[in-house]
Amino acid sequence: AGAEQPSSAAEPWQHPSVSRPALISCAGAARAERQQLLPRVQRAQTQRAVKFLHCHSTSLESVTDPRDGKRVALKKMPNVFQNLVSCKRVFRELKMLCFFKHDNVLSALDILQPPHIDYFEEIYVVTELMQSDLHKIIVSPQPLSSDHVKVFLYQILRGLKYLHSAGILHRDIKPGNLLVNSNCVLKICDFGLARVEELDESRHMTQEVVTQYYRAPEILMGSRHYSNAIDIWSVGCIFAELLGRRILFQAQSPIQQLDLITDLLGTPSLEAMRTACEGAKAHILRGPHKQPSLPVLYTLSSQATHEAVHLLCRMLVFDPSKRISAKDALAHPYLDEGRLRYHTCMCKCCFSTSTGRVYTSDFEPITNPKFDDTFEKNLSSVRQVKEIIHQFILEQQKGNRVPLCINPQSAAFKSFISSTVAQPSEMPPSPLVWE
């Protein structure tokens, strides 16, 4: 412990066994096709073809930035301007991607130069390239050591602490949205469902959030208002999945999802269900009284130590107001080794000198000021939002490097441009409406 604030640059917790975690294999992600990304000014002379791969549910392509030769990911946001709701959602995501500055949160490195506004239909965002994600890693046969689990969980919570400090609820934390590169660096991605927290408890929030297996009990029970604790619930489910290599609560329906949760945690108290809708409460009270069966978590794997299960049980708390926060979870002793490993050989915030490692003064930084979503209040028509987004992208590029655009002569351009992603049908299923 005591790792939060090292008092000097001397290594606070140098440990002989600490080293970079074993590399994660990222085989199987490649679908070789060709795609070209060109700086606008060099369009005519440069004809550099690069590979691209499909490694995400949204079209996320691996391309080479011709300005510096670095491999980056290109994310296409299609059909942006179909209606006001999709415009606003995409603009919010775009603003967030440009706002984030944290190593465990995916951010926009660049946005491709938009065409004239009359032809402006899609937005292309350049992000850092990540080879895999936690879902692919969990279902793969490659072994995951307890070091892997600790360093992944540490980074998830580190990123989440930052997001929550920005006032942002991710609302769809799941293994597929946690990108991982071969050095085991992890970044939270996909902010399509993210929003700013609602502090006014009388305001209703949409329940169309969170993939069912990772959905918090308060959402399953129809609470009209929820907090960033829903993200922590998802992290708890993922923690258990990392340990057990299988989905913790894999139900066929939202009701069964809730039943699996109460099988583990026992019947919740009335106090813990105070925000639930009447129908959901009636369902729980009608059923048999269940005793908690938390010791079963020790059987997840041999890595489910006392410390691991203790932290897990602080995340999988039925009552959201009693669930641990990302900040407090990071102070749990289970994560000390993950922090040590991350900052000894994986982070960008500390550095090595000939006399040793110089550690940052803040291992888990937050953001100040918060993300400001007041811009959304004045968005009233598709045309207006389109103009604002167009202007926003041009402003992002001001003073920046040479703007990038897609080369329409590229062989794969047509298939790329016609691909569609993340339509409403692919959104998480709606929760049950309790009658």
Work out whether 347 is an interface residue with Zn ion (CB under 5 A): yes
Work out whether 255 is an interface residue with Zn ion (CB under 5 A): no
263: number of CA atoms within 13 Å, CB side? 12
Query: At its nearest, how many Å lie between Zn ion and the CB of residue 350?
Result: 3
Query: At its nearest, how many Å lie between Zn ion and the CB of residue 192?
Result: 29
Q: Are 307 and 338 in contact (CB under 8 A)?
A: no
Identify the CA nearest to 125 among candidates 191, 185, 76, 55: 76
Query: At its nearest, how many Å lie between Zn ion and the CB of residue 327?
Result: 17
Work out whether 343 is an interface residue with Zn ion (CB under 5 A): yes
The stretch among 53-61, 200-208, 322-330, 346-354 that binds Zn ion (CB under 5 A) is: 346-354
Work out whether 157 is an interface residue with Zn ion (CB under 5 A): no
Q: Which residues contact 60 (CB under 8 A, 6 or more apart)?
A: 54, 73, 74, 75
Shorter beta-carbon distance to Zn ion: residue 332 or 343: 343
Applying CB under 5 A, among 29, 30, 251, 349 the residue interacting with Zn ion is 349
Shorter beta-carbon distance to Zn ion: residue 110 or 128: 128
Instruction: State the Cα–Cα distance between residues 305 and 303, nearest whole angstrom.
Output: 6
Catalytic, 172? Answer yes
Phi, psi of 203, rounded to the nearest 5 degrees:
-85, 130
Catalytic residue among 110, 133, 147, 172: 172
Query: At its nearest, how many Å lie between Zn ion and the CB of residue 370?
Result: 23
Work out whether 358 is an interface residue with Zn ion (CB under 5 A): no
Question: Which 359-418 residues touch Zn ion, going by CB under 5 A?
Answer: 360
Instruction: State the Cα–Cα distance between residues 280 and 216, nearest whole angstrom.
Output: 14
Work out whether 331 is an interface residue with Zn ion (CB under 5 A): no
Shorter beta-carbon distance to Zn ion: residue 153 or 350: 350
Shorter beta-carbon distance to Zn ion: residue 192 or 338: 338
Applying CB under 5 A, among 53, 350, 393, 432 the residue interacting with Zn ion is 350
Query: At its nearest, how many Å lie between Zn ion and the CB of residue 206?
Result: 37
Q: Which residues contact 345 (CB under 8 A, 6 or more apart)?
A: 18, 19, 20
Instruction: State the Cα–Cα distance between residues 406 and 329, nearest whole angstrom.
Output: 43
Instruction: State the Cα–Cα distance between residues 200 and 369, nearest whole angstrom.
Output: 20
341: number of CA atoms within 13 Å, CB side? 24
Residues at the interface with Zn ion (CB under 5 A): 343, 347, 349-350, 360
* Active site residue ranges: 172
